[in-house]
Every structure is written in structure tokens, then in C-alpha cells.
Amino acid sequence: MRRSHPLVVGAVLVGLICILAVVSFFWTPHDPGLVDASIALQPPSRTYPLGTDGFGQDIFSRILVGARICMLVGVMAVTIGALLGVPIGILAGMSRRHVGRRIMRWADIFYAFPALLLAILLAAANGTGSTMTAMIAIGISSIPAFARVANTASRSVMSRDFVAAARSSGIGWTAIAWRHVLPNILPVVLVQVSSALGRAILAEAALSYLGVGTQPTTPTWGRMLYDAQKFVYDHPAQIAVPAVFIAITVLGFNLLGDGLREALDPRLRQEA
């Protein structure tokens, strides 16, 4: 039970953010885009639970709606990364050692490209940044991490005798990949998904803070940070609110990843 602690805390935090995002589709206390200069920078009150920002927009409503973008970009980016990275890693893990090494060296080169740089490049090529460029940039830059994890795990699966048994009865490489390798590396991939989500959400916040991700008027937590920093001396709570939510989300996913890692560790599992 002690071991499942991070798993539970992580799941609760992530679940909370997911609920926020879902709720925002049905209900927000106020219109998150409604600008009213007469009520700018209000402290938290019953009508405005977290106060209002410099434009008089309700911060809580914007946090709710911001959770959508944060989840959308995170999930889509990680999907891109996993769908491309895992097959590359499996391919490298199933190839002869020197071929696999060559593939992984290419993955390492891409590892050196930060998501940020890629997003700026994409945004420049497109003329302007968008939610899409953020997703693609973060997704592409998370491919190498997935490839690496999948490669190491598949190589260890390939050395086990059940693969030799399958080969000796003429099972083809694709069938071995689907039937044996993928199911056996799934736990480690899952752990990677969780921690990649944390990183993707952080990257998304950074991109929208810099203005190369989702464009203004659509509320995002990163953008809210940017807008609030003007008031950091007079109204520090303004900047704290989105920052805390970003931190909670990233922490949640990281805890979830750690918890999964422990829960799926074969050495611990065998005791169960």
C-alpha cells in the first residue's frame, strides 16, 4: 500500500485537472473572454473565486477553459510522440545490434533539438504560432524519448527465449513485434507516456507564454502567466494562480509516472 502512494496522489491530481477541462465545456462561472475594464484586477470574491485579471476577465473561468488546451496539446503531442517513437524504437530493438545503434544515433540527434526551437521554426514557417504548431513541435520533440525507451525494452524482450521459440516455429517479424514485443514493453511505454505528458504540458505553457503556441483570446495557462507578469509587484496572486495549476498538472503526471513505474516493476510485481 505504501508503494501505491505516488500513484494515487498523481491520479487524483491528474483527475482533478481532467475534471476542470471537462466541466469547462458545460459550465464556467463567467464568460472567460468577457473584457470589462471596470472590474480589472479584483481580489478573489464570491462572484470571482480567483479574482479578475488586468482585462477584468474572470480568472477561474479562464483556468477552467485553459485546462482544455493544456490537456489537448499534451495528449495530442504525446500521441504523436508515442505513435512515431515506439515503432522506431521497436524497429531498432529488433534489428541487428549495429543497425539498431545507427537508428538510435539518429534519434539522439533529434533529442538535441528542443521543442521550443522546433516550435519557433514551425511558427516562423507558418507565419504565426498556433495550437497546432505547439502540438506538432512538442510531439516531434518527444519522439526520441519514446524511441529510446522502446528500443531498450524491446532489445531485452528480444533476448528472451519465447522470441527464439516463436522464431523457431516460423513466426514472422511483424507477428513477433505485435504479439510479443509490444505487449511486453507496454508497461514501460505507459510510464513514459505519463512523464511525457508532464513535460509536454510544461512545454505548452512555455510556448504560449512566449506567444509561439496558442494565440491570444483563447485562454491558456502559459498566456495567463505572461499577462499577469506585468502586475507581479502589485498583484502577485495573479501570476501565482496559473503557475500553481501548471505545477499541479506537471506534478500529477510525474507522480503518476513514478507510481506506474513502481506498480509495474517486474521485481515488485512478482511478489504480488
Partner 1 sequence: MTDDEPDPGVPVFEARGVSRTFRRSGTRGRVLTTALDGVDLTVRPGQRLGIVGESGSGKSTLIRVLDALLPPSSGEVLFRGRRIDNASSRQLGDLRSSVQMVFQDPRSSLDPRMTVGDIITEPLRSPLLRSRPDVPRNHGERLAEVLEQVELEADAAGHYPHEFSGGERQRIAIARAIAPRPDVLIADEAVSALDVSVRAHVLNLFADLVRSDRLTLIFVSHDLAVVRHVCDHVAVMRSGRIVESGPIEQIYASPAREYTRNLLASVPKLRVRTASSRRTATEVPDEMPPGPDDPPA
Q: Under the rule (CB under 8 A), what is the footprint of partner 1?
A: 160-162, 164-172, 179-180, 183-184, 270
Measured from the CB atom, is 2 or 96 closer to partner 1?
Answer: 96
The CA distance from 218 to 201, in Å, is 16
Q: Give me the least distance between CB of 121 and partner 1, in Å please.
A: 37
Beta carbon nearer to partner 1, 142 or 184: 184
**Residues 39 and 61 sit within 8 Å (Cβ to Cβ):** no
Tell the smallest beta-carbon distance from residue 228 to partner 1 (Å). Answer: 48
* Closest CB to partner 1 among residues 174, 217: 174
C-alpha–C-alpha distance, residues 241 and 80, integer Å: 30
CB nearer partner 1, residue 234 or residue 271:
271
We find the least distance from the C-beta atom of residue 155 to partner 1, in angstroms, to be 15
Q: How far is the CB of 163 from partner 1 (least distance, A)?
A: 8
What is the torsional sign of CA 7, 9, 15, 18?
A: negative
Cβ at position 196, least distance to partner 1 in Å: 23
DSSP assigned state of 31: -
The C-alpha cell that represents 153 in the structure block: 525494452
C-alpha 241/C-alpha 49 separation (Å) is: 11
Question: Please, which residue, 38 or 169, has the CB nearer to partner 1?
Answer: 169
CB 28 within 8 A of CB 38: no
